[in-house]
Amino acid sequence: NNIFSALFVGQNLVTIKEVDSTNTFLKNLLSNSKPLPEGTVIMAESQYAGRGQQQNKWHSEPGKNLTFSILLTPGFLPVVNQFDLTRVVSLGVFDALLPYLGDKLKIKWPNDIYYDEHKLGGILIEAHIQGDHIKNAIIGIGLNINQENFEPGAGNAISVKQILHRDYDLRTLLSEICAHIEGYYLNLKAGKVSLVRNMYLSRLYWLNQTKHFRSNDQIFEGVIRNVKDEGLLVVENNNEQQEFSLKQIEFLNK
Ligand code: BTN
């Protein structure tokens, strides 16, 4: 009686009505109880303190969207390759949504899911390191699915429903996302790192296009050329390539 086609991601599924943040909840579970199986998913109908990248809050209308966290235990993954996990998760979400949304779907570096110029969802990965490898990774995913209105403060948010004008079954989408993430994860585990890296680059928003960026309070025109193995963004500006971390660069909307 299990709708999940993945082997382990989502097999142990816990759904909660309301929680502060599924990432925090999973983190606390890990530190308080016996070990949890890899692939455990905590899904919440509503979060009252959802967290995003860079200390942002993550708002999501209760019951309308996907807000969940997956536990992975990638003991095989060196810390220096942590960005491969970001790639695996973004690609999994991307592939699950692709049949519904088509070509306008993109991954905006490092791990936002975009439709045209609009943000459909984001990913927050919190890793626990042991030695020089990753012991646990809490993969938090928030996707706007059936929400119809966003507060003006939500910037450029969009939902699947706003694009396709119908409601989607959250459980079905969840199972599809889990299966796709698992597929990429198993490839990574099997050493197919270049497959994962090449695929990620091929899905990247604004690759080889001229855009405006801000760094160190300077606005400049540049072209995204690459993402380094460890995740730095390579932007070409005046025939010179510069590398940026997420904190060092901002994308401007023009
Ligand atoms: C971002 O784009 O800034 C990342 C957003 C991540 C939101 C998800 S919702 C489920 C999980 N729990 C959280 O508190 N955050 C992540």
Same domain, 18 and 81: yes
Q: In CATH, what number is assigned to the domain containing residue 233?
A: 2.30.30
CA-to-CA distance for 158 and 147, rounded, in angstroms?
8
Q: For 76-94, write each residue's pLDDT tens digit.
A: 999 999 999 999 999 999 9
The answer to whether residue 104 scores a pLDDT higher than 50 is yes
Domains identified in the chain, total number: 2
Measured CA to CA in angstroms, residue 249 lies from 101, 109, 170, 230, 238 at distances of 28, 11, 34, 16, 17
The whole-number pLDDT of residue 3 equals 54
pLDDT band at 48 (very low <50, low <70, confident <90, very high): very high
Main-chain phi, psi angles of 230, to 5 degrees: -85, 5
CA-to-CA distance for 152 and 232, rounded, in angstroms?
31
Q: Which atom of ligand 1 is nearest to the CA of 20?
A: 14
CA-to-CA distance for 223 and 210, rounded, in angstroms?
5
Q: In CATH, what number is assigned to the domain containing residue 183?
A: 3.30.930.10
* Torsion angle of the four alpha carbons 227, 67, 21, 76, in this order, in degrees rounded to the nearest 10: -50
Q: For 158-171, write each residue's pLDDT tens digit.
A: 999 999 999 999 99
Same domain, 240 and 114: no
Candidate of 43, 47, 51 to mutate for ligand 1, largest count of ligand atoms within 8 Å of Cβ:
51
Quick check: CB of 121 below 6 Å from ligand 1?
A: no
Give the domain extent around 223: 210-251
Quick check: CB of 69 below 6 Å from ligand 1?
A: yes
Q: Cα(203) to centroid of ligand 1, in Å?
A: 21
Same domain, 160 and 239: no
Same domain, 121 and 60: yes
Q: Measuring CA to CA, which residue among 204, 194, 251, 252 is closest to residue 226? A: 204
Q: Cα(94) to centroid of ligand 1, in Å?
A: 16
Same domain, 105 and 195: yes
Same domain, 34 and 130: yes
Same domain, 68 and 184: yes
Main-chain phi, psi angles of 156, to 5 degrees: -105, 35
ipTM exceeding cut-off 0.95 for this assembly: yes
The answer to whether residue 1 scores a pLDDT higher than 50 is no
**Could you tell me if residue 6 is inside a domain?**
no
Quick check: CB of 25 below 6 Å from ligand 1?
A: no
